[in-house]
Structure 1
Amino acid sequence: MIIERVYANVASYDRSEWPWSLPCVSRLLEDGLRITAPVTFLVGENGTGKSTLVEAVAEGFGLDSWGGSHDWRYASHRPKSVLGERIRLDATPYGRRMMGSWSARKGFFLRAETALDALDREGFAPHSVSHGEGFLAAFRGKFFQPGLYVMDEPEAALSFSSCLELLGHVEQLVKNGGQVICATHSPLLTALPGADIVEIGEHGMRRVAWSDLALVDHWRRYLADPHSYLRHVLD
């Protein structure tokens, strides 16, 4: 483990303004988020703030908010996000040694909407392969060193079998001393044995077993009877 707690250090803020208005950020300000496993999944509906959180964690570790590895420090020349400026990470002794010097710090931030640009910049997204194959090339080539790997909806470009391959890479990465924090909508990814699942919503943040996740329940119901859902959205 590298990171064991995430919190925000803010002297004053307006609860009506974004991102402080997000329930998950309010919870982060009050109690922080304890990281209890080498792989943490953040799950929630669109707009709940899970992407905001993972971006801030990446920035807090020193990764570029645009995406990419530790070798590309702020390559996008974008300022940190409002939350990223104030995020704080409590590290384990091993993590403190890694974060103590820039040359020792290892990691990667993979975000779906900028992934191809970041991967192409680092030579892992050849134009002769598909979007998903470019993702997998990055996993094979970059996700192996001990470090912090932050991902925002990596399943967006991946097929069912490619998601399974990703889980294999994640498991090997953890065995090599890596840590993963991932925002996702995928019931397949969140089924990884031993992973910690944090559900984000109007309640803020809470730990949930995979079998109790709302997204798992919805997928079960949909696959059993698609019409029970489609009748509400189709004429």
Structure 2
Amino acid sequence: MSLREIRRRRSFPNSEYPFNTDIVRNFNSLSIESPVTIIAGDNGCGKTTLLEGVAAAAECILISGEPMEREQRFSPAFALADELKLTWSVKTRNGFFFRAADYVTYTRNLALIKEEAKEKVEEIRARDPFSLEVLPYARTYHDLHMLYGDGLDKLSHGESFLQLFQARFRPGGFYILDEPEAPLSPQRQLSLLALIHDFVGDGATFLISTHSPILMAYPGADLYEVKDGQLQSVRYEDMEHVSLTKNFLNEPERYLRYLLES
């Protein structure tokens, strides 16, 4: 595994965002002892905030949105990153930070870049078939086509997620995935598990925030749940998402009766 530990350097400097969120304020350290570390918790508990800070500290590329640049909207992530110390066994440059919430914008931007490159190639070749000016645009179009075929925007939302991961995962990489199950059916979530497992076998490390009991079931994953504003290690069968889903599937009428009658 590439990343070994995430640790707070000192007391956090102020009570402004992101330091006023419970999960950040209470954070001390997180040891990465499994190739797959999973963090679960209710909406609004601060999972994404913590992952953004780790991603900025790890100098991850933000795959599904704008670049992570201090002067842009990720300055809170870099403020948190400055207070975190990451310990590596081997510092990898392969990897990325993926946020499902930004994915639609990402696919549209890719499609626009590819179309603009194609139009520029056609324009230059119409003016001068032998011009070297065409090369950077032709390479951009070629690289995007090799990675994503006709384009992620031509696939269903779930299919394009998996296509992105298949195209961009690399052996030995470090990947931070924020709710990657968002558009995936249960069957596609199983496909993602299999893909993650393939790359774990090639030395990749994953830090995943999820609501999915399917992803939480990855064999040997270290599981954490945000409880009372703190990261707590928990067994799979004791995770709230797992127990609630299991109980609902066993007795849906009991839950529905209570909800519909209230």
* The two structures share one fold, judged by TM-score above 0.5: yes
Aligned partners of 2:107 and 2:171: how far apart in 1?
17
Q: Does the aligned pair in 2 maintain the 1:3–1:89 contact within 8 Å?
A: no
**Bigger fraction of residues in helix:** 2
Q: Does the aligned pair in 2 maintain the 1:8–1:83 contact within 8 Å?
A: no
**Which sections of structure 1, spanning at least 5 residues, go unmatched?**
99-104
Aligned partners of 1:169 and 1:26: how far apart in 2?
34
1:59 corresponds to which residue? Answer: 56
Q: What amino acid is the match of 2:198?
A: Q
Normalising by structure 2, report the TM-score. Answer: 0.76
**Which sections of structure 2, spanning at least 5 residues, go unmatched?**
111-143
Percent identity over the alignment is: 31
Normalising by structure 1, report the TM-score. Answer: 0.83
Is the counterpart of residue 160 in structure 1 residue 186 in structure 2? yes
Q: Does the aligned pair in 1 maintain the 2:178–2:210 contact within 8 Å?
A: yes
Q: What amino acid is the match of 2:2?
A: I
1:109 corresponds to which residue? Answer: 97
Give the secondary structure class of the aligned counterpart of 1:24: helix
Aligned partners of 2:12 and 2:236: how far apart in 1?
36
Give the secondary structure class of the aligned counterpart of 2:207: strand
Task: Rate the CA distance shift 1:188–1:230 in 2: closer, same or farther, 3 A.
Answer: same
Larger CA Rg, structure 1 vs 2: 2
Q: Does the aligned pair in 1 maintain the 2:6–2:29 contact within 8 Å?
A: yes
| Deviation at residue 78 of structure 1 after TM alignment | 2.3
Aligned partners of 1:185 and 1:177: how far apart in 2?
25
Task: Rate the CA distance shift 1:216–1:132 in 2: closer, same or farther, 3 A.
Answer: same
Aligned partners of 2:108 and 2:198: how far apart in 1?
24
Give the secondary structure class of the aligned counterpart of 1:169: helix
Q: Matched residue pairs, number?
A: 221
Q: Which of 65, 79, 84 is the equivalent residue of 2:78?
A: 84
Give the secondary structure class of the aligned counterpart of 1:188: helix
Q: Does the aligned pair in 1 maintain the 2:51–2:178 contact within 8 Å?
A: yes
1:101 corresponds to which residue? Answer: none
| Deviation at residue 83 of structure 1 after TM alignment | 4.2
Q: Does the aligned pair in 1 maintain the 2:94–2:174 contact within 8 Å?
A: yes
2:122 corresponds to which residue? Answer: none
Aligned partners of 2:194 and 2:237: how far apart in 1?
21
Is the counterpart of residue 39 in structure 1 residue 36 in structure 2? yes
1:2-41 equivalence runs, <5 A: 2-9=2-9, 13-15=13-15, 17-28=16-27, 31-41=28-38
| Deviation at residue 65 of structure 1 after TM alignment | 4.9
| 1:153-179: CA deviation from partner (whole Å, max 9, x where unpaired) | 011010111000100111111111111
Q: Which of 151, 154, 158 is the equivalent residue of 1:132?
A: 158
Give the secondary structure class of the aligned counterpart of 2:182: helix
| Deviation at residue 181 of structure 1 after TM alignment | 0.4
Aligned-residue Cα RMSD (Å) equals: 2.4
Aligned partners of 2:63 and 2:167: how far apart in 1?
19
Give the secondary structure class of the aligned counterpart of 2:13: coil
